[in-house]
Structure 1
Amino acid sequence: MTILDTARTKALERGEGLNEAEILDVLNVPDDQLTELLELAHQVRIKHCGVEVSLEGIISLKTGGCPEDCHFCSQSGLFESPVRAVTLDIDELVEAARQSAKMGASEFCIVAAVKGPTERLLDQVKDAIQAINAEVDISISASLGILTREQARRLREMGVSRYNHNFETARSFFPNVVTTHTWEERKNTLDFVRAEGMEVCCGGIIGLGETLEQRAEFAAQLAEVEPHEVPMNFLDPRPGTPFADRGLVPRGEALRAVAAFRLAMPTAQLRFAGGTELALGDDGTEQGLLGGANAIIGGNYLTTAGRPMEVDRELIDTLKAL
Structure 2
Amino acid sequence: MTAAAERTGADRDSTGDSTDVLALAREQVLERGVGLDEARVLEILRLPDDRMPELLELAHQVRMRWCGPEVEVEGIVSLKTGGCPEDCHFCSQSGQFPSPVRSAWLDIPGLVRAARETAATGASEFCIVAAVRGPDKRLMSQVRDGIAAIREDGNDIQIACSLGMLTPEQVEELVAMGVHRYNHNLETARSHFPSVVTTHSWEERWETLRMVHDAGMEVCCGGIIGMGETVEQRAEFAVQLAELDPHEVPMNFLIPQPGTPYENFEIVQGPDALRTVAAFRLAMPRTMLRFAGGRELTLGDLGAEQGMLGGINAIIVGNYLTNLGRPAQQDLDMLTELNMPIKALSDTL
TM over 0.5: yes
Question: Which amino acid is the alignment partner of residue 17 of structure 1?
Answer: G
For the Cα contact (< 8 Å) 2:224–2:251, is it kept in 1? yes
**RMSD (Å) for aligned C-alpha atoms:** 0.9
Determine the structure 1 residue equivalent to 2:312: 293
Determine the structure 1 residue equivalent to 2:108: 90
- Where does 1:1-322 land on structure 2 (aligned, <5 Å)? 1-135=19-153, 136-320=155-339
Distance in 2 (alpha carbons) for counterparts of 1:42 and 1:22: 18
Aligned-residue offset at 1:139:
0.2
SS at match of 2:51: helix
Aligned-residue offset at 1:262:
0.4
Question: Which amino acid is the alignment partner of residue 148 of structure 2?
Answer: Q
Question: Which amino acid is the alignment partner of residue 136 of structure 2?
Answer: T
Aligned-residue offset at 1:8:
0.5
For the Cα contact (< 8 Å) 2:252–2:293, is it kept in 1? yes
- Cα-to-partner distance string for 1:180-208 (whole Å, 9 max, x where unaligned): 00000000000110111100000000000
For the Cα contact (< 8 Å) 2:63–2:285, is it kept in 1? yes
Which consecutive segments of 4 or more residues in structure 1 shift more than 2 A?
A: none
Distance in 2 (alpha carbons) for counterparts of 1:321 and 1:305: 24
Aligned-residue offset at 1:85:
1.2
For the Cα contact (< 8 Å) 2:70–2:340, is it kept in 1? no
Q: Which runs of 5+ in 2 are unaligned?
A: 1-18, 342-349
For the Cα contact (< 8 Å) 2:125–2:158, is it kept in 1? yes
Percent identity over the alignment is 65
- Cα-to-partner distance string for 1:22-69 (whole Å, 9 max, x where unaligned): 100000111111000000000000000000111100000000000000
Question: Which amino acid is the alignment partner of residue 116 of structure 2?
Answer: R
Question: Which amino acid is the alignment partner of residue 303 of structure 2?
Answer: G
How many residue pairs are counted as aligned between the two chains?
Answer: 322
Q: Residues 250, 3 of structure 1: CA spacing in aligned structure 2 closer, same or farther, 3 A cutoff? A: same
Distance in 2 (alpha carbons) for counterparts of 1:24 and 1:277: 25
Q: Which has the larger radius of gyration?
A: 2
Distance in 1 (alpha carbons) for counterparts of 2:210 and 2:156: 28
SS at match of 1:192: helix
Distance in 2 (alpha carbons) for counterparts of 1:314 and 1:296: 13
- Cα-to-partner distance string for 1:237-275 (whole Å, 9 max, x where unaligned): 000000000000011000000000000000111000000
Aligned-residue offset at 1:321:
6.6
SS at match of 1:305: coil
Aligned-residue offset at 1:134:
2.1
Question: Which amino acid is the alignment partner of residue 297 of structure 2?
Answer: L
Aligned-residue offset at 1:86:
1.2
- Cα-to-partner distance string for 1:61-82 (whole Å, 9 max, x where unaligned): 0000000000000000000001
For the Cα contact (< 8 Å) 2:296–2:326, is it kept in 1? yes
For the Cα contact (< 8 Å) 2:219–2:247, is it kept in 1? yes
Q: Residues 83, 39 of structure 1: CA spacing in aligned structure 2 closer, same or farther, 3 A cutoff? A: same
For the Cα contact (< 8 Å) 2:71–2:340, is it kept in 1? no
Question: Which amino acid is the alignment partner of residue 45 of structure 2?
Answer: L
TM normalised by structure 2 equals 0.91
SS at match of 2:79: strand
SS at match of 1:320: coil
Q: Which runs of 5+ in 1 are unaligned?
A: none
TM normalised by structure 1 equals 0.99
Distance in 1 (alpha carbons) for counterparts of 2:335 and 2:171: 33
